[in-house]
Each structure stands twice: as structure tokens, then as C-alpha cells.
Amino acid sequence: MDLVLLFFIFVLAAFLGLELISKVPSQLHTPLMSGSNAISGITIVGALVATGANETGAMGMILGFLALMFATINVVGGYLVTDRMLQMFKKKDK
Amino acid sequence: MEFESIINLAYVIAATLFVFGIKMLGSAETARRGNLISGVGMLIAIVVTLLDRGILDYTWIAVGLITGALIGGVAARMVKMTSMPELVALFNGFGGLASLLVAWAEFEKIKSQGWQLYSLEMGTPSYFSSFVIYIAMLIGGITFTGSLYAYGKLSGRVSSRAQVFTGQKGINALMLIAILALGVLFTWSGDLGTADKLFIAGITLALLFGVMGVMPIGGGDMPVVISLLNSFSGLAASAAGFVIGNNVLIVAGCLVGASGLILTAIMCKAMNRTLGNVLFSGFGATSQSGGDDDDREPKAISVQDAYYVLEAASSVVFIPGYGMAVAQAQHVVKELGELLEENGAEVNFAIHPVAGRMPGHMNVLLAEADVSYDQLVEMDSINPIMPTVDVAVVIGANDVVNPAAAQDESSPIYGMPIIEAHMAKTVFILKRGQGKGFSGLVNKLFVMDNSRMIYGDAKATISEMVNELKG
């Protein structure tokens, strides 16, 4: 894996993120936060590999399993609660 | 096409869906679909990872996924909207913990394989792997305990006041130096036995530092802390991406890191304070005085009399604060608003960016109560029309309507943008007692000639008004 390439991706993503989010109206700050929080559960990908691959040793697998459980709570809970909140944001017809 | 390429292609699709999802979260019409799209991205990333040939045993994966999904699902269903800040803090913490554990598991892998084999497989020099493992552990650990402590403060399990003691800054500075020193040693230590000890010491310090960092921050500054921890949880995931060399973690984590950082900046700006001031000053730990030469007494008014004023008003603005969340008054407030509208008044809700305990807290509560979101007006839009408003009803808000912030240069909150409730023709302030706000300041709004206090539980007071209007 080319390290410079990884940093390149990181920097581009940072600028993209700053650009995307600077225009969000304040009324949506809470769902934005919990929705992006769910995305940060992407660590689940690392946890899956650590849990399933036997090469990590027993300790590594236990840590991977715990990581997987917490990341799953983060992902599932985060998406569901965001959806629950957004469902309430309605414009009434008058 | 190679199998490896297909997996990476799927990760690119997942990352793209995250970008689109976040973009769509930016507008109320598309937000729900945006969240769904980013969820689909997550699902793709998970499914593709499960196809990875490195995974040999699916038993524990199934157990972990099902347990986590059950806990997360139940928590998301059961939580009350008023408790949303706690839950978001808790989920944040779990994300941080997961990143710490992934970094730790990777380190265990190195220990069982030895550096030579590991570096060969990853194609990265050993010092780079150690460095990013340490960073992912560090950010994840601070996020975890910091969020847990914030959760405790928000849910009232521990005191939400800022906790300060002498030498606190010194201790924190020493801890930070120790953490950095351990990191340097860990990165350059060739011997795995020594590295193991350094790593454990690093984890301990990171976890402790999370608690110490949140300690001097009071309840009213929580919107900043939650935003910052949100940013950290993303950066931790990104660091974990560097650890396992996975682009989708780097991109997704970095997007979250950036979004959290922007929210943090917005919150700081809304309080006219720097991030450093919020994090280190221990604001609200002690009662502050300042420019307090006004000895006028606040004037109270009965609910009955307030009702007559409201009935005659042709424009009413509600200004909710954390007190509305505590009193769970959002539903009756909405009912009162509707009745006033039927009565011919124009009704709006003025929302300060830092009202409540997390960014957008008030908006979520009022949305829950079914208030149409076009009635929720931001500070900058409501202030110019405030002088034309007949009645401004302040519900459990304090510092965000304190005119001292605009007028009194000696005030600690001078310069903080406020909702100019004092410009309205009449101001009603619903308040539980005569206590001070989060900043510990006397609120000049309360003693102004056009202000009237209505003491008591906000929910009970408003219910009474609703009954008067109905009867």
C-alpha cells in the first residue's frame, strides 16, 4: 500500500467533507451529527476482519469481537435513530 | 477482473454513497433519503468485507453482529427525544471504543506474527504501522471515555457542572506530554515485549485523558463537546483505516471528522468563544458577577393576566431553551402555538444555535411535537423583526436572551450573539425559580420594563394557558 496515496485520499476527503457540510442549516444539526456518527461506525469493516481472521491469535479475536459488537451498536443504532428523528421533520400544509 | 479489485470497487461505491448521503442530509426535504443512502453504503461495505478471503470463521462475526444490532436497535427505538444528546454521546463513545479495539487487535496480530511477516504482508514500514496504531488507539480511547463522561453529565448521572481544581491544567499538560512521549517510544521500539508495555500504558493514559478533558466543561458548553467528540470518532475511524490500509475507513472517517469540526466551529462562534476557552476555562464552574449594578427586581405576572396579553397579540415568538427539554414541554408549547394561530396570531419559534445540550436540540424536540419546520426560525432571521413582535415567550432559556451580551462590555458573555427578545413589545419569561443561567450571570432581560416573569414548571404553566384559550 502506497502511504503517500493514503494521505492523498485523506486530505481530499477532508476538503470534500468541509465543503459538503458547511452549508447545512442549523435545524438539521442533530440528525447530521447522529447520521455522520453512524458513518464513523465504518470501523466495523476493520472489526469484521479482526474477528474472522484466525491469524490474529486468541486475544486479537476477542478484541475484534468486542470491536465488532460496539461498532455494530454504533452503526445500527445511529442509522435507526437518525431515521426516527428525520421522520419527524415535516412541513405542514396550511 | 481480480477478486481484490471487485472488493475495492465496492468500497469506492460505498464511499460515494456516504458522500451523497451526507450531502442530502443538508436539506430537510432530502435528509431522510440521504440517511438511507448512506446506510446502503454501509451495508455494501459490510457485505463486501464478509466476502474477504482472510475471514475463515463466521461464528463470532454472526454473534457480534446480532448482539450489536439488537442493542443498537432497541436503544434507537426506546430513547426519548429529550434524551437524544445522551444517546448520541454514547454511540459516539462506542465508535471510538471500536476504533481503539481494532487498533489493539492489529497490534496483537503483529505480536503473534512478528514484525517481519507483518510488514511484508502490509507493505508498510513497521514504524508507520506502530505510529498509526498508536494514533487510532489514542483518539479512540479519548473519544470513548470522554463521551461516556459527557453521557453521564447529560443524563444527570454525574454533576453537569464544570469540575475544576487547582493544578488541573498542569496535570492535564503532564498527561498529554506523557501520552506523546509514550507514542514516540512505541513507534520506535523494535522489541515487541517493550512495545506491549508501552501500548498498555498508552491505553490507560488515553482513557484517563478523555475523562480529564471533559471534566472542566459545564453542561451549557456540551454542544461544543459533543461536536468535537463526534469529530474525534470520525478521525479515530480514519486512523484505523490507516492501520489496516483500507480506503473506505479513511474516507468515511475523514468525512465525519470534517463535519464534526465544522459543527464545533459553528457552536463556538454562536457563543463568541474560542475552542480553547470552551475546553480549558471551566466556564460556569463558579458564579460570576460582572456589570451587576442593576438593582431592579423582576416583576412577576399571573398566568391569567399573561393569557389576556397573549389573546390580544397578533404576533408571538417562542424562544425555547434547555428548560423546555427538562420540563418536556414541547407538546404543550406546540398546542399553545396552534391555538394562538387559530386566534389570528402569527406564531414563530426562534432557535438559538446553542440552545439545549447539542446542536439542533430544540429543532428535534419541536419536530417531535409536530411543529412545521418552516416555523422554526434561525437567530439571524428573527432578530430584525423582533421589534414588531407583540409577545416573546422565553421558555427555559437564559444566557441566549441576555441583553448584557450585546450591551455590557464588562460581561463575560459580551459579544455572544443573542436572540433579541428584549426588543419585543412584551416578554414573558417562563422559569422554574429565581436561579441563574448556566453562565451564572444575572440576566438583565428579567428586570426590564417590558418583561414579566411567570414562575413555575413550564409545562404546567403552558397547559394552563392552553386551557384558558380553549375555555
Provide the ipTM.
0.94
Measured between CB atoms, does A6 come within 8 Å of chain B? Answer: yes
Question: B376 — phi, psi (to 5°)?
Answer: -85, 110
The gap from C-alpha B351 to its chain's centroid, in whole angstroms, comes to 16
Given this model, what pLDDT does residue B271 score?
84
- Cα of A8 to nearest chain B Cα, Å: 10
Q: Is residue B258 part of a domain?
A: yes
Model confidence pLDDT, tens digit, residues B31-84: 999 999 999 999 999 999 998 777 778 888 999 999 999 999 999 999 988 888
The length of chain B in residues reads 471
Residues B309 and B269 in one domain: no
Question: B182 — phi, psi (to 5°)?
Answer: -60, -40
Q: Is residue A81 part of a domain?
A: yes
Q: Is residue B41 part of a domain?
A: no
Measured between CB atoms, does B69 come within 8 Å of chain A? Answer: yes
Half-sphere exposure of B247 (CA within 13 A, CB side): 21
Q: Is residue A84 part of a domain?
A: yes
Q: Is residue B140 part of a domain?
A: yes
Interface contact A67-B54, CB threshold 8 A: no
Model confidence pLDDT, tens digit, residues B383-395: 999 999 999 999 9
Residues B314 and B214 in one domain: no
Q: Name the percent of chain B lying above pLDDT 90.
A: 54
Measured between CB atoms, does A4 come within 8 Å of chain B? Answer: no
d(CA B35, CA A83): 7
For residue B76 the three cell numbers come to 434507537
Residues B123 and B231 in one domain: yes
**B233 interaction partners in chain A (CB closer than 8 Å):** 37, 40
Number of domains in chain A: 1
Q: Is residue A16 part of a domain?
A: no
Given this model, what pLDDT does residue B292 score?
52
Measured between CB atoms, does B249 come within 8 Å of chain A? Answer: yes
Nearest CA in chain B to A92: B372
Measured between CB atoms, does B127 come within 8 Å of chain A? Answer: no
> Any alpha helices (H) in B51-122, and if so which ranges?
59-78, 84-113, 115-122
Given this model, what pLDDT does residue B240 score?
95
Phi and psi based region of residue B71 (left: phi greater than 0; alpha: psi -120 to 50; beta: remaining)? alpha
pTM of the shown model: 0.90
- Nearest-by-Cβ selection for B56 from A23, A52, A73: A52
Question: Looking at the predicted structure, is the pLDDT value of residue B460 above 80?
Answer: yes
> B420, B403, B398, B431: which is closest to B306 by C-alpha?
B431
Residue B408: domain span: 303-470
Structural domain ending residue among the three candidates B265, B280, B295: B280
Q: Is residue A93 part of a domain?
A: no
Q: Is residue A40 part of a domain?
A: yes
- Lowest mean per-residue pLDDT among B1-5, B309-313, B324-328: B1-5
Nearest CA in chain B to A15: B258
Q: Is residue A10 part of a domain?
A: no
For residue A69 the three cell numbers come to 459488537
Q: Is residue A8 part of a domain?
A: no
Mean pLDDT of B244-251: 91
Structural domain ending residue among the three candidates B246, B280, B314: B280
Query: Sheet harboring B315-320: ordered strands across?
Result: B376-378, B346-351, B315-320, B391-395, B426-431, B451-455
Residues B256 and B326 in one domain: no
Given this model, what pLDDT does residue B186 score?
94
Given this model, what pLDDT does residue B355 score?
87
Interface contact B26-A28, CB threshold 8 A: yes
Mean pLDDT of B366-393: 91
- Nearest-by-Cβ selection for B25 from A17, A32, A44: A32
Given this model, what pLDDT does residue A55 score?
67
More confident residue, B178 or B439: B178
Q: Is residue B241 part of a domain?
A: yes
Question: Looking at the predicted structure, is the pLDDT value of residue B288 above 60?
Answer: no
Query: Please, what's the b/e burial string for B109-144 (b: 16 or more CB within 10 A of its CB; e: otherwise)?
Result: bbbebebeebbeebebebebbbbbbbbbbbbbbbbb
**A16 interaction partners in chain B (CB closer than 8 Å):** 19, 255, 258
Given this model, what pLDDT does residue B291 score?
47
Given this model, what pLDDT does residue B220 score?
81
Is B449 marked active-site? no
Q: Which of A3, A73, A84 to mutate to test the interface with B (most CBs of B within 10 A)?
A: A73
Name the pLDDT band for B236 (thresholds 50, 70, 90).
very high
Residues B271 and B317 in one domain: no
Given this model, what pLDDT does residue B287 score?
47
B residues 323-342 closer than 8 Å to A (CB): none
Residues B328 and B276 in one domain: no
Contacts of B128 (CB under 8 A, 6+ apart): A3
Strand pairing report for B391-395 and B426-431: parallel
- Lowest mean per-residue pLDDT among B241-255, B276-290, B309-323: B276-290
| Count of other CB atoms within 10 angstroms of residue B245 | 18
Nearest CA in chain A to B98: A67
Residues B308 and B259 in one domain: no
Q: Is residue B294 part of a domain?
A: no
Residues B313 and B451 in one domain: yes
Residue A84: domain span: 25-88
More confident residue, B91 or B297: B91
Mean pLDDT of B265-271: 88
Residues B276 and B309 in one domain: no
Catalytic residue among B292, B293, B295, B399: B399
Are residues B412 and B288 in contact, defined by beta-carbon separation less than 8 angstroms? yes
Residues B420 and B352 in one domain: yes
In whole numbers, what is the pLDDT of chain B averaged over residues? 89
Residues B317 and B249 in one domain: no
Residues B220 and B360 in one domain: no
- Cα of B267 to nearest chain A Cα, Å: 10
Number of domains in chain B: 2
- Nearest-by-Cβ selection for B22 from A20, A70, A86: A20
Q: Is residue B451 part of a domain?
A: yes
Measured between CB atoms, does A76 come within 8 Å of chain B? Answer: yes
d(CA B106, CA A43): 13
Residue type, B377: V
Mean pLDDT of B130-146: 96
**B124 interaction partners in chain A (CB closer than 8 Å):** 1, 3
Whichever domain contains B399, its CATH number is 3.40.50.1220
Q: Which stretches of chain A score pLDDT less than 50?
A: 94
